[in-house]
Structure 1
Amino acid sequence: MRWAIVGAGAMGSTFGGYLALAGHRVVLVDVREDHVRAVRERGLELRRPGGEDVVVELDATTDPPRDVDAVDVALFLCKGWATVDAARSIAHALGPESWAVTVQNGLGNDRRLAEVLGVSRVVPGTTTVGAMSEAAGVVAAAPGTVEGRSLTQLGPPRGSSAVPDAVHAIAAALTAAGLPAEALDSADVVIWTKVAMAASMGCLTAVLRRTVADVVDDPTAWELWTDVFEEVVAVARASGVELDADALLAHCRETYAAVGHHTTSMAADVVAGRRTEVDSLALEVARRGREVGVPTPVTDTVGRLIAALEGSYERAL
């Protein structure tokens, strides 16, 4: 298959590296000139703790209209707020049989892609693939990813009555490349499950500028987390997505205990003064809560606090 990885940060580059090693034609698309330049000049250095580190030869560009021709799959891993512009930049490379797959964080990314590319070719999904950027042109896959314990889950395009054969083929290609994947009748439960974890812990660690363990260990912070979690579950249920709150809570506790003093990506963005994905997480949950008549006072407040931080980085004390 011919793949464009749209948003080649740590996770996107890891997907691209594994696919290229499996023999697929891959081009990384990203706005970071230093990363793209390093990949073009030296290849992508893919570090795999506990496994074999490799240098992967593949294409990379900051200018897809110029450098990317026809692709079979555009896999989107860019920030949610960049989705529309990213889709426009790659639209020329998607033919009638091409697919746009999103495993981005948050809600609404498939809708944004559909606005540009059409709903029938957009595949919603989520992933637990993990990675860290170590330098321009260098990424390290998380141990769980190296060990084959990550999972990418893909659903059918909105409005489809069945999962297209092509979606099964995409999942099979990822699995064969060492990134386990499966096609589901609907991706809504897995997407909302991830949102319940990210919109709660990610947003709180960003507001508080604390690690995951800091939030878990502080009674007041944990009470806030619980409020957000319960609001997300309520909005999901009112939207027709039945989450098992008890099982999900147990999964959250287990996951947070395992990661310990981990800095979430949203907290890292706030500390670095970068734009966050709050529009796709807490603020989108609050917006959908208003649509379905579910109050989300804590989630909305946390989301607006992050938005206020974004608008005043340069004035920080």
Structure 2
Amino acid sequence: MAKVAIVGCGAMGSVYAGLMTDAGHEVHCVTLWEDHVAAIREKGLRVEGVSGDRTVRLASASTRTEGIGVCDLVIIATKAFDVEAAAEACLPLLGPDTVVQTLQNGLGSADRVAPIVGPDRLAIGVVGGFGASRRAPGHVHHNGMEITWFGAYAGLPREKLEASTRIWESAGFRVRHFDDTRQMVWQKLIMNVTFSGSTCLTGLTIGQVMADPHAWRVASGCAKEAVAVAQALGVNLALDDPLGHIRELGGKIPHARPSMLLDHLAGLRGEVDVINGSIPRLGAELGVPTPVNDTVLALIKARESTFSK
């Protein structure tokens, strides 16, 4: 049994927490959602979907990391714009052998976490194909669990990387390790770029975007630009047919609504800056035109300007 803290225990983090607890690990949940904490403390955490339907009792649920103590594994599962604050909050959880995994959409989060927790204990994680959502406080649902990938950020020894990912494997996650973390991150990013902005703007599910020629024209345009930027950067995507890869993964979770869409439905800021916004930012540096992502970014930012939260 391992002692695990999940900092940023929203919809995705709660899926991790529920399955790891069910596998016998001591799991501590940290989230700023006070209603989620209260429900978990009162009734337990319910996780249902493709993995089954279970209600588990976590070791603790709180809005703060104080009192948890040193952990074997710390998973930072916050939004990208909250990673630095989360990493600072994790410091009391770290001992000499603690591994930290940072799992965010988009680009750049690990670079912001490493100086805080130390690059030699850090793993970059990429997850996808979950379609996770919060149904109610203390209750989350997920449509799949296709991608659980990890790679060492810098000096994390291979044996520590593998020991930390065995915790995931014991809970039913299929883990793949990458030596080339740029390849790993970009394989997921092109998927996010395709569906996050397009579903956010249309309100459609992933399957509906793929089925609608107008929506797919925008989504695939975002994808093609992301692939062009990756190629200009010298990233080896290791995909003969990137669009085919995207459609294959999307076809496994057709009813899913990406987190950016869910955030907007709740009137909350999403992660467009590190997803679709990363493509024109890099494209401008590399001389790669990115008109579709430019437009998607501008429209989503305009929409977010009306949010009060």
- Asked if residue 18 in structure 1 is aligned to residue 19 in structure 2, the reply is yes
Three-state SS of the structure 2 residue aligned to 1:216 is: helix
Structure 1 residues 71-121: Cα deviation after superposition (integer angstroms, max 9, x where no partner): 122112111111111111112221232222022211111112113223222
Q: Which amino acid aligns with 1:301?
A: T
Q: Which amino acid aligns with 2:153?
A: P
* Alpha-carbon distance between aligned partners in 2 of 1:270 and 1:51, rounded to the nearest angstrom: 28
1:42 aligned residue: 43
Alignment counterpart, residue 302 of structure 2, candidates 302, 308, 316: 308
Q: 1:52 Cα shift?
A: 5.2
- Superposition RMSD in Å: 2.2
Would the alpha carbon gap of residues 68 and 273 (structure 1) be closer, same or farther in structure 2, given more than 3 Å must change?
same
Q: Which amino acid aligns with 1:54?
A: T
1:278 aligned residue: 272
* Alpha-carbon distance between aligned partners in 2 of 1:104 and 1:157, rounded to the nearest angstrom: 14
* Alpha-carbon distance between aligned partners in 2 of 1:50 and 1:178, rounded to the nearest angstrom: 8
Alignment counterpart, residue 172 of structure 1, candidates 162, 166, 170: 166
1:128 aligned residue: 128
* Alpha-carbon distance between aligned partners in 2 of 1:2 and 1:290, rounded to the nearest angstrom: 44
Where do 5+ consecutive residues of structure 1 fail to align?
Answer: none
Residues 40 and 58 in structure 1, CA contact (< 8 A), matched pair in contact too: no
Q: Which amino acid aligns with 2:294?
A: D
Three-state SS of the structure 1 residue aligned to 2:134 is: strand
* Alpha-carbon distance between aligned partners in 2 of 1:235 and 1:129, rounded to the nearest angstrom: 23
Q: 1:50 Cα shift?
A: 7.0
2:72 aligned residue: 72
1:30 aligned residue: 31
- Asked if residue 138 in structure 1 is aligned to residue 134 in structure 2, the reply is no
2:9 aligned residue: 8
2:179 aligned residue: 185
Residues 129 and 249 in structure 2, CA contact (< 8 A), matched pair in contact too: no
Residues 81 and 279 in structure 1, CA contact (< 8 A), matched pair in contact too: no
Q: 1:304 Cα shift?
A: 2.4
Three-state SS of the structure 2 residue aligned to 1:139 is: strand
Would the alpha carbon gap of residues 52 and 262 (structure 1) be closer, same or farther in structure 2, given more than 3 Å must change?
closer
- Asked if residue 229 in structure 1 is aligned to residue 223 in structure 2, the reply is yes
Where do 5+ consecutive residues of structure 2 fail to align?
Answer: none
Give aligned pairs, total: 306
Three-state SS of the structure 2 residue aligned to 1:67 is: coil
Q: 1:54 Cα shift?
A: 3.3
Which of the two has greater helix per residue? 1
Residues 61 and 67 in structure 1, CA contact (< 8 A), matched pair in contact too: no
Residues 155 and 163 in structure 1, CA contact (< 8 A), matched pair in contact too: no
Three-state SS of the structure 2 residue aligned to 1:97 is: coil
Q: 1:49 Cα shift?
A: 5.2
Would the alpha carbon gap of residues 296 and 52 (structure 1) be closer, same or farther in structure 2, given more than 3 Å must change?
closer
Residues 2 and 25 in structure 1, CA contact (< 8 A), matched pair in contact too: yes
* Alpha-carbon distance between aligned partners in 1 of 2:25 and 2:175, rounded to the nearest angstrom: 16
Q: Which amino acid aligns with 2:190?
A: A
TM-score, with structure 2 as normaliser: 0.90
* Alpha-carbon distance between aligned partners in 2 of 1:180 and 1:43, rounded to the nearest angstrom: 25
Quote the sequence identity (%). Answer: 35
Q: 1:8 Cα shift?
A: 0.8
2:83 aligned residue: 83
- Asked if residue 155 in structure 1 is aligned to residue 156 in structure 2, the reply is no
Q: 1:296 Cα shift?
A: 1.9
TM-score, with structure 1 as normaliser: 0.87
Would the alpha carbon gap of residues 124 and 230 (structure 1) be closer, same or farther in structure 2, given more than 3 Å must change?
same
Residues 106 and 189 in structure 2, CA contact (< 8 A), matched pair in contact too: yes
Three-state SS of the structure 2 residue aligned to 1:193 is: helix
Q: Which amino acid aligns with 1:229?
A: A
After superposing the two structures, state which structure 1 stretch, 84-93 or 242-251, moved more.
242-251
Structure 1 residues 227-247: Cα deviation after superposition (integer angstroms, max 9, x where no partner): 211111111122221225542
After superposing the two structures, state which structure 1 stretch, 69-78 or 235-244, moved more.
235-244
1:215 aligned residue: 209
